[in-house]
Amino acid sequence: MKKSISKLIQFILFPAIGIFIIYQLYKDQNAEEILQALRNDVDYMWIVLSILIGLLSHLSRAIRWQMLIEPIEKKPGLVNTFCAVMTGYLANLVFPRMGEVSRCGVLSKYERLSFTRVVGTVVAERLTDLFMLLLIIIAVLTLQFDFIGGFLMRTLKLDSFSEILLSPIFYAIILLSLVGMFLVKRYAKQYKALMFLKNLMSKFTEGLSSIRKIKNKPAFIFHTLLIWFLYFLMIYVCFYSLPATSSLGINAGITILLTGSLGMIAPVQGGIGAWHFMVIATLKLYGIPAEDGGVFALVVHAAQNLMIIVAGLIAFGLLPILNRSHHAKKSPLATNS
C-alpha cells in the first residue's frame, strides 16, 4: 500500500507540481507570441547541434561507466552500456530517480553482471558528478564573483561572505553533521531509519572504493571533464538559436549549467517546471526578458527531452535484438567495445 502511494505521488503529484510551475511562469505571456517566436525566431540548426552534443555526452558517460565496472566485474560491451544509459534516462521521465536502478538492471541482465555491484558503480558516478557540480559552483562564484556574489548578498541580506565563515551557525551545522554521522554508525542496528542511513553511507564508501580501483584514471578524469564540458556546450550553442540570447557569453553558459543542474535535482520527471524556473530566473539576471527566457527554456528543455525519448525508445527496442542469444552465447554486437 505504501509503495502504491509512493508511486502515485511520483507519477501524479510531482508532475502536477511541475506543470503548475510551468503555468505560473507562462500564464502572463501571450501564447500567440510564443508560438510566433517558436516558428520565426528560433534557429533550429543550433538546437539540432545541441541534441548531437547531448548524445555525445551520453556516449562519454557510457564509456566512463565501463571504466567503473571493469575493476569489479568483466568489462561490459559499449553498445549495451550506452543503451542502458539511454533507457535509464527514459525511465527518469516516467519515475524520478528510477533511471539509476533501471539502467543497472538492464546492463546486469544483458551482460550477466552482479546487480548489486553495478549499483555500487552508479554511486561512484554520482559522487564524481557531485564533485564536478561543486567545482562549477566555485567556478561561477570565482568568474562572476561581483555579479553573482552581489545578487546573493542582496538576497541573503549579508554584507560579505566572511559573515558566513564567522557565523557560529555555520560551525554548528558542521558539528551536527559530524555528530550525526557518528550516531548513525553507533546506533544504526537499533532503528530501521538509522540502519537505512548506515547502508546508504556504506554504499558511498563502496562507490569511493570503485573509483580507486579504476585501471585508467587519466581516461576516467578525461571523460568526466568531457561530459561536463559537453553539458556546457549543449547550453552555450543554444544561445545562438535566439536573437535575444545570442550575445550571452561563456560566463552566462556556465551559470545556466549550474542553475539548470540544480533544477534537475528536483524530484519531478525531466526537471519540468523547476528547470524552466531556474533558467528563466538566471537569464533575467543577464538582462534577458522573461518572454525571451521562456522561449529559450521551452525550446532547449523540449529538444533535450525529445532526444531522450527517441534515443531511449530506440535503445530499449535494440537491446533484445542485439542480445537475442545472451542466455546462451552473447551477440558479437553486444560485446563490441
Q: The cell 539548470 sits on which residue?
A: 260
The candidate with the shortest Cα–Cα distance to 294, out of 316, 320, 313, 275, is 275
Which residue stretches of the chain are H helix? 2-8, 14-26, 31-40, 44-69, 78-92, 98-111, 115-143, 145-156, 162-166, 168-187, 192-212, 217-239, 250-264, 274-285, 290-322
- Residue 125 C-alpha cell reads as 558516478
Q: What confidence score (pLDDT) does residue 312 get?
A: 95
Q: What confidence score (pLDDT) does residue 175 get?
A: 65
Do 269 and 14 meet the contact criterion of CB atoms below 8 Å apart? yes
Q: What confidence score (pLDDT) does residue 192 get?
A: 53
Instruction: Tell me the three state secondary structure of residue 335.
Output: coil
Q: What confidence score (pLDDT) does residue 113 get?
A: 87
Q: What confidence score (pLDDT) does residue 144 get?
A: 75
Q: The cell 549550474 sits on which residue?
A: 258
- Tell me how far apart the alpha carbons of residues 36 and 44 are, in angstroms, rounded to a whole number: 14
Q: What confidence score (pLDDT) does residue 152 get?
A: 55
At 302, give phi and psi (nearest 5°): -65, -40
Residue 182 backbone class (left: φ over 0; alpha: ψ -120 to 50; beta: rest) = alpha
Q: What residues of the chain score a pLDDT lower than 70?
A: 1-11, 145-209, 325-337
